[in-house]
Amino acid sequence: MEAVLAGAISTALTRFGVDADPSRIGLERPARTDHGDWSTNAALVSAKGAGLPPRELAQQLAAELDGAGLPHLERTEVAGPGFVNLHLAPSWLHEVLAEVLLEGVDGYACSDIGSGQTVNLEFVSANPTGPLHAGGGRWGAFGDSLARLFRRCGYATVTEYYVNDRGAQMELFGRSLAARLAGEPVPDDGYHGEYVIEWANELAVELEANSAVGDAGPLAVVEARGGTAFAASWGRERALRDVAESLAAMNVGFDRWQSEASLVDSGAMDDVIERLRDAGRVYEQDGAVWLATSEFDDAKDRVLRRSDGEPTYFVPDIAYHHAKFGRGDRVIDVLGADHHGYVPRIAAAMQMLGHAPESYEAIVGQNVTLMRDGKVIELSKRTGTIVEVRELIDAVGPDVARFAFLLQSIDSRQTIDIDLLSAQAAENPVFYVQYAHARIASVARRAEADGVASVPPPGTDLSPLSGDRELALLRALEVLPSVVETALRERAPHKVTTWVRDLAAAFHGFYHDCPILHSQIPPEVRDARLCLTEGTRIGLAIGLDLLGVDAPEAM
RNA sequence: GCCCUCGUAGCUCAGGGGAUAGAGCAGUGGCCUCCGGAGCCAUGUGCGCAGGUUCGAAUCCUGCCGAGGGCGCCA
């Protein structure tokens, strides 16, 4: 419908000989229904070029559209400073509903804007040195929902978690674990969290269960197997298991877990440095090897190899990002605000390696502030203060947790008070939405029990759907495809959250005012309403799936 | 000091050039003779400040104020 109207507006303006700027012409669904079903500012933005007062041009445009024989168009009006409002017959919404029912959950609101394109999306990538922090849940929920949006829009999408399993942090983690195992104090700059003690105990139990320990004790076994390196390697697996399980509980998964160590072992670092040298962007100074990233908008050049001969973390990161281009035409990182300063150097390196500037994208989100009982919890590696996502999920359930993460824009700092969220879990908006879905399932069960098909056959007359609540619900359903496209384009999954709440609200209102299966409801009205109910179910299922939240049949 | 993000109702947040700025929570008052009351309806208050661009600014630009984050041969 939108395309038809936009075409008609464009044709009319051309006929008038108006040289309009298409990028400024908007066709939108007005906030108020008395402003019509669609509204355009075409006359407003074209008036100057046409040499006419806006309202006069609007009058001409309205008349032209009236005479164009557009489907469903009942009348036009000129309003305000020069808007042309288009009032359509409800039949246009009935067509939308028929489309929803025909296409179903796997078809409606799908787009092909990404067909033939591949996307590589990396998110979370927290160091494998401990359980996943609750703040990390935000990146998990965001990244996973963004991936779902990409897929629904036709992009072949690969999601990745980068495992920083080598270098100083791993070394420290291994030492901390070994120290706890030995009952010694952990290094000052090591990992002091409670979980290190628990994990060390786990390791001990595991080793003892594997019999090999004998009289020497677990510590001796660890020493025999490589000491710190063994502890680190065991700890890595332990941490990743925690991360994967915690995220899986929230329906977040990854296609690939890329180990930094194995990437480095493959020789990727040397390879990438060679390429950068060939590109003429590498130089030596003060005994160190530098990359001239400032030539590509970075604030300063960066060190690749320290004067002591050690490569910086930057080198494997370049190698990793370069490798990701083998798995996606567009490479996207989801990062916390504490890493935003790191974006220009990676972007610079990617350009040096021949990747187009627009093919690398970093989405920087604001971090989560965690609170407990109204007090901010400061994270500290030194004291080991941490709030695990697992704790959050255990406290409120996976659906509340994930919905909470996706409730607001990634650009705004999020404050999560665990106690408050727990106390108010029952009032969480996710249940409002899920309740709508469960109600629909309940209606379907009741219909079947009454011997009525809960999904009337295609071709069912939808014209009885003409009341305010019915039309409002149809309108909510109608916007989903554009919501999906906007949410993807703006990298804003929370727009789906907003929409799904709107749809649920429209359904609850409809349900309250429009009896479906009551005895005095005529069969043709009943069937039309059942169609609308089923269409709503489809919309809710699509929205909840994009959000990675369960769509229950009963609660 | 420089850079990034944010400042909207009592609280948590949507809205990010368009007409009379919304939701949830909290408060108050209503609504169950048949489909699930985890629901529906009513009710009050608000765009940090000052300029600018525009027919039109909560939205874009500049400055100021406030909050968070970043500015290593750390990762």
Nearest Cα to A367, choosing from A397, A399, A337?
A337
Q: What is the mean pLDDT of residues A331-340?
A: 95
Strand-strand pairing, A118-122 and A330-336: parallel
Strand B footprint nucleotides (protein C-beta < 7 Å): 3-7, 12-16, 18-20, 22-26, 34-41, 55-56, 68-75
CA distance A84 to A77: 6
Mean pLDDT estimate for chain A: 93
The answer to whether A399 touches A520, Cβ cutoff 8 Å, is no
The b-or-e profile of A152-181 (16+ CB within 10 A means b, else e) is bbebbbbbbbbbbbbbebbebbbbbbbbbb
Q: Is the pLDDT of residue A214 over 70?
A: no
Å: A408 CA to B6 C1': 13
Residue nearest to nucleotide B11 (CA to C1'): A420
Å: A164 CA to B74 C1': 15
pLDDT tens per residue across span A344-389: 999 999 999 999 999 999 999 999 998 887 788 887 767 778 889 9
The helix or strand, by DSSP H or E, that contains position A333, with its residue range, turns out to be strand A330-336
Which nucleotide is at minimal CA–C1' distance from A490?
B16
Residue nearest to nucleotide B26 (CA to C1'): A424
Å: A520 CA to B41 C1': 24
pLDDT given for residue A216 in this prediction = 67
Name the band, by pLDDT with cuts 50, 70 and 90, for residue A458: very high
Å: A44 CA to B57 C1': 16
Å: A408 CA to B66 C1': 22
pLDDT tens per residue across span A50-99: 888 889 999 999 999 999 999 999 999 999 899 999 999 999 999 999 99
pLDDT given for residue A211 in this prediction = 62
Å: A480 CA to B3 C1': 37
Which nucleotide is at minimal CA–C1' distance from A517?
B35
Q: What is the mean pLDDT of residues A231-241?
A: 96
Both tokens of residue A346?
A: 């990676």
pLDDT tens per residue across span A135-165: 999 999 999 999 999 999 999 999 999 999 9
pLDDT given for residue A321 in this prediction = 97
CA distance A196 to A15: 74
Å: A155 CA to B54 C1': 38
Residue nearest to nucleotide B67 (CA to C1'): A413
3-state DSSP of A445-464: HHHHHCCCCCCCCCCCCCCC
Q: Is the pLDDT of residue A221 over 80?
A: no
φ, ψ of residue A549 to 5 degrees: the values are -115, 145
Residue nearest to nucleotide B12 (CA to C1'): A415
Residue nearest to nucleotide B41 (CA to C1'): A509
Å: A299 CA to B71 C1': 9
Name the band, by pLDDT with cuts 50, 70 and 90, for residue A19: confident
Which nucleotide is at minimal CA–C1' distance from A365?
B5
Tell me the CB-side half-sphere exposure of residue A207, using CA atoms within 13 A. 23
Q: What is the mean pLDDT of residues A311-337?
A: 96
Å: A424 CA to B28 C1': 21
Which nucleotide is at minimal CA–C1' distance from A32?
B19
Å: A211 CA to B19 C1': 78
What SS3 class is residue A336? strand
The b-or-e profile of A55-84 (16+ CB within 10 A means b, else e) is bebbbbbbebbeebebebbeebbbbeebbb
Name the band, by pLDDT with cuts 50, 70 and 90, for residue A215: low
Residue nearest to nucleotide B7 (CA to C1'): A412
CA A16, distance to chain mean position in Å, is 44
Residue nearest to nucleotide B18 (CA to C1'): A41
Which nucleotide is at minimal CA–C1' distance from A444?
B35
Q: What is the mean pLDDT of residues A455-481?
A: 97
pLDDT over 70 for what percent of chain A? Answer: 99
CA distance A424 to A417: 10
pLDDT given for residue A472 in this prediction = 96
